[in-house]
Amino acid sequence: MRIIVTGGAGFIGSHIVDAYLDAGHDVLVVDSLWEHGGGRRINVRNGVSLVHMDVRDEAIARVFADFKPDVVSHHAAQHSVAISAREPLYDAQVNVVGLLNVLEQSVRSGARKVIFASSGATYGTPERLPITEATPQNPTSPYGITKMAGEQYLRFYRANRDLDFTALRYGNVYGPRQDASGEAGVIAIFSGRFIARQGVRIDWDGEQTRDYVYAADVARANLAALELGSGQCYVIGTGIPTSVNEIYRTLVRISGFAAPVEHAPRRPGDARAAQFDASRAARELQWTPTTALEDGIRAAYAYFQRMAR
Ligand SMILES: NC(=O)c1ccc[n+]([C@@H]2O[C@H](COP(=O)([O-])OP(=O)(O)OC[C@H]3O[C@@H](n4cnc5c(N)ncnc54)[C@H](O)[C@@H]3O)[C@@H](O)[C@H]2O)c1
């Protein structure tokens, strides 16, 4: 299959590119290498073409027309909740107008399907856990709003323009190549501090939980979505809530270093808990996460260690 991966030089996108290549597909990466994102040329495997272009650029019409993708995996985004709150206009330009540009060009170049990186952020702070596809979406940030709007546009294009979709609502994705300057990447941030033998900051009491899902597992969900999950949205997580304190203890075990901890107050808007029930993805995409958290953190830590040398 011929597949365009937007955001394919980024953290999650580059793992998806690897999974598609390993399965024998032809891949083209479109990425603007945005200064606040995790996009790096070195994330893209040798031999894979990277078109350095913004998804809002009209010139992607030519890129799509020339490559003629069967499927487009759309992972390029303004992915910061904080930036979206400060600059909602920019957030919407990239996450909505950029998506529309990709959808239009997908239709015009004859693509069959778009796989969309949606987010647990579309749920806001739900009343009940675990989050499932039936949980009401009440986004509390412009980022969550634009991701939710993206899903609605996908439905429109499927109903009216014959472009199929699968949307994947990720929990907290972690693993090698995660950008340590990202706001939600506690495993990447802590790893960097442990490797530099520096202390870490833990907000609140550290017992707040998130559902951490390994990047290569997320990439397998994107592989499954090439053939399955027509017109559907799926929650992608492990179902296991993990606290910040548990991540800290895991890194102490892996590194043999008890990093000094500075405690800080709760950050405004920080949720107490998150947990994603991915049973629908298990049933319909035949997808289950297989990487245990400690194994995933070990692999990520080893990667960050190599990069620090
Ligand atoms: N990391 C997570 O836990 C998480 C959770 C839910 C959803 N997502 C979504 O998954 C996708 C990938 O996120 P990530 O964590 O790998 O971040 P990332 O920053 O590593 O990847 C995003 C990529 O998009 C590129 N990009 C940004 N703006 C662009 C533009 N205007 N035109 C072209 N390329 C552009 C960046 O250069 C980067 O390579 C995003 O859509 C994000 O919203 C991520």
Does 167 fall in a domain?
A: yes
Q: Averaged in consecutive runs of 10 residues, what is the pLDDT profile of the chain (309 residues)?
A: 98 98 98 95 97 98 98 97 96 98 98 98 96 98 97 98 98 96 85 97 97 98 98 98 98 98 92 96 98 98 96
pLDDT tens per residue, range 99-111: 999 999 999 999 9
Looking at the structure, tell me whether residues 16 and 150 fall in a common domain: yes
pLDDT for position 261: 98
Q: Is 37 in the pocket of ligand 1 (CB under 6 A)?
A: yes
Q: Is the CB of 170 under 6 A from ligand 1?
A: yes
Domain co-membership, 167 together with 34: yes
pLDDT at 182: 65
Residues 160 and 35 in one domain: yes
Tell me: do 131 and 247 sit in the same domain. Answer: no
Work out which ligand 1 atom sits closest to the CA atom of 118. Answer: 7
Residue 212 known to be catalytic: no
Ligand 1 contacts CB of residue 55 (under 6 A): yes
**89 and 181 inside one domain:** no
Instruction: Compute the distance between CA of residue 142 and CA of residue 81 in angstroms, rounded to an integer.
Output: 7
Write down the pLDDT at residue 94: 98
The domain in which residue 250 lies consists of 175-211+240-274+291-308
Query: What's residue 270's pLDDT?
Result: 86
**CATH number of 187's domain:** 3.90.25.10
